[in-house]
Amino acid sequence: MNICLVSGRPVRPAIAFGESKALKFVLATDHRRHDDPSKKWTSYVPCVVFDPTKFHQTTLCNEEARKQFVQGQGRISRTSYETSKGDRRYSTEVVLDPDTLVIRGGR
């Protein structure tokens, strides 16, 4: 089963693709170490939402997006492509379900 739960703050405003049929953005998620809770680190999770609502578009595509807290459920998707030099590259992102996407404002 491929289910992923993510939460964090957008690093920058989302980019809309295909007449706003998809939004791409990166979430910064903070973690604490199990062996030393005083230490934390940040992971950057690339996300995409297909068929986003107007609310998702207006909230995530403006400069205020970094002040929002985003959480949602989706699946991990891994794709590959070949560069012009013939090298294979891989891309991993979380494809979020727009029905589970929750956005809360303010820091």
- The pLDDT tens digits of the residues spanning 23-51 come to 999 999 988 877 888 888 899 999 999 99
Q: Give the model's confidence band at 5: pLDDT under 50 very low, under 70 low, under 90 confident, else very high.
A: very high
CB atoms inside a 10 Å sphere around CB 77: 14
pTM of the model: 0.84
Percentages helix, strand, coil for the chain, rounded to the nearest 5?
10, 55, 35
Instruction: Name the nearest CA neighbour of 15 among 47, 53, 55.
Output: 47
Locate 71 and state its tokens: 């959480």
Q: What is the pLDDT of residue 20?
A: 80
Rounded CA separation 41/30 (Å): 6
Greater pLDDT, 87 or 106? 87
- pLDDT score of 105 more than 90: no
CA 104 – CA 16 distance, rounded (Å):
20
